[in-house]
Amino acid sequence: MKNPHMTDSRDRMIAAASELFLGGSFHKIGIAEICEVAKVNKGTFYHFFPSKINLLLEVIDLYAREVDKQFASIAASDAPPSPSCARFSACLRRATWLGRR
């Protein structure tokens, strides 16, 4: 059984890294800053991620899963196809919105 505290710590690190990387530069953000924002120590960081690159890959994977969910939701909607491609436009708007987040 997973320790909920450890899962929460991992999720907080991913959330902190997402926010910091989008708000700054991957190369300028250090592990110490990520740990500070996530309220974990470096040992916890290295328990889950061998390096900052591995954390970045998790952030990218999370983003990709969220985009995929949004696309699936739009594709499954009852919006009728139209000459203006309303469903496709909605997908693009959603991707743009997520990119700005």
Residue 60 and residue 35: Cα distance in Å, rounded?
18
- What does the pLDDT look like over 14-59, one tens digit per residue? 999 999 998 888 899 999 999 999 999 999 999 999 999 999 999 9
Q: Which amino acid is at 52?
A: K
pLDDT at 13: 97
Q: Which amino acid is at 17?
A: A
Residue 61 and residue 101: Cα distance in Å, rounded?
15
Instruction: Report the number of distinct structural domains present in the chain.
Output: 1
Find the CATH number of the domain harbouring 34. 1.10.357.10
pLDDT at 72: 82
**Domain boundaries, position 94:** 4-100
pTM above 0.75, yes or no: no
